[in-house]
């Protein structure tokens, strides 16, 4: 009887804690780690070696991977430096249409997808206390090398407008600079809420986004 109870208890524990099977991510060339996954299991499921998986993702401790972590699968189209740098970030779904932009207000992070693949993760800034950045699904509705913020007296480079607030437009842009002096502000504050409602990136990131953006490109702003 004691043996039977022990076997039943063991079966119950195994049912509760059986790891989820590894499965290919919907994003080609990446995999989202699930509870119970190990590097060996993920490598076997994708036909690669554990060591190549470790090298592709810069993993220092193979025993420490976390649920929700995005891993680059070596040998895929996304095994590029940009994708590898994005792999350590929390995953977000690709926007409809495959190429688009996702903003996480809670993380102060922005995600660029191209052809359904997460290619870049950047720190970004949304609205400071007392202002707000609207959440929802939008599209790029204007694209200018720079836009002028008359209320603040500064220029905003690599401007991508996404929605209107009264008579003005909120959007995505690089570091603002004073229209009179050329002084560039906020460079050391990107990654914290600092804007007056727009999404602000460092200039290098803003320029890359501007170059791939198109009118109608989906933009999702989420908490």
Confidence band of 16 (pLDDT split at 50, 70, 90): very low
Q: What is the reported pLDDT for 96?
A: 59
Taking the C-alpha atoms of residue 196 and residue 188, their distance in angstroms, rounded to an integer, is: 16
pLDDT at 6: 42
Secondary structure of the chain in HEC code, one letter for each residue: CHHHHHHHHHHHHHHHHCCCCCCCCCCCCEEECCCCCCHHHHHHHHCCCHHHHHHHHCCCCCCCCCCCCEEECCCCCCCCHHHHHHCCCCCCCCCCCCCEEEEECCCCEEEEEECCEEEEEEECECECCCCCCCCEEEECCEEEEEEEECCCCEEEEEEEEEEEECCEEEEEECCCEECCCCCECCCCCCCCCCECCCEECCHHHHHHHHHHCCCCCEEEEEC
| Structural domains of the chain in order of their starting residue, each with its CATH number | 20-77 (3.10.350.10), 92-223 (2.40.440.10)
Reported as a pLDDT band with limits 50, 70 and 90, residue 75 is low
Q: Let me know: does 30 contact 117? Beta carbons within 8 Å.
A: yes
pLDDT tens figures, 143-198: 999 999 888 899 999 999 999 988 889 999 999 999 999 999 888 899 999 999 99
- Per-residue pLDDT, 80: 46
CA 138-142-147 angle, 5° bins? 120
Please report the pLDDT score of residue 93 as a whole number.
61
pLDDT of residue 162: 96
Give tens-digit pLDDT for 90-144. Answer: 446 656 557 899 999 999 999 999 887 888 999 999 999 989 999 999 999 999 9
Percent of the chain with pLDDT over 70: 76
What's the mean pLDDT in 11-31?
36
Contact 124, 109 (CB under 8 A): yes
Please tell me the predicted confidence (pLDDT) of residue 116: 79
Position 11 pLDDT exceeds 70: no
């Amino acid at each position: 009887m004691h043996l039977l109870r022990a076997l039943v208890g063991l079966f119950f524990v195994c049912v509760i804690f059986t790891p989820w099977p590894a499965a290919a991510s919907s994003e080609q060339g990446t995999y989202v780690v699930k509870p119970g996954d190990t590097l060996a299991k993920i490598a076997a499921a994708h036909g690669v070696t554990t060591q190549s998986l470790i090298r592709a993702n810069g993993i220092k401790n193979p025993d420490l991977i976390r649920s929700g972590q995005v891993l680059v699968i070596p040998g895929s189209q996304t095994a590029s430096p940009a994708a590898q740098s994005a792999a350590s970030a929390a995953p977000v779904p690709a926007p409809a249409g495959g190429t688009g932009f996702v903003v996480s207000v809670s993380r102060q992070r922005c995600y660029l997808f191209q052809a359904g693949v997460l290619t870049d993760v950047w720190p970004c800034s949304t609205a400071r206390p007392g202002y707000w950045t609207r959440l929802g699904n939008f599209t790029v509705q204007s694209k200018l090398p720079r836009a002028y913020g008359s209320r603040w007296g500064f220029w905003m480079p690599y401007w991508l407008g996404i929605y209107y607030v009264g008579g003005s437009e909120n959007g995505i842009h690089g570091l603002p600079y004073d229209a009179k002096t050329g002084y560039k502000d906020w460079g050391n504050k990107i990654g914290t809420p600092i804007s007056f409602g727009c999404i602000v990136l460092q200039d290098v990131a803003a320029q890359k986004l501007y170059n791939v953006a198109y009118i109608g490109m989906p933009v999702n702003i989420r908490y």
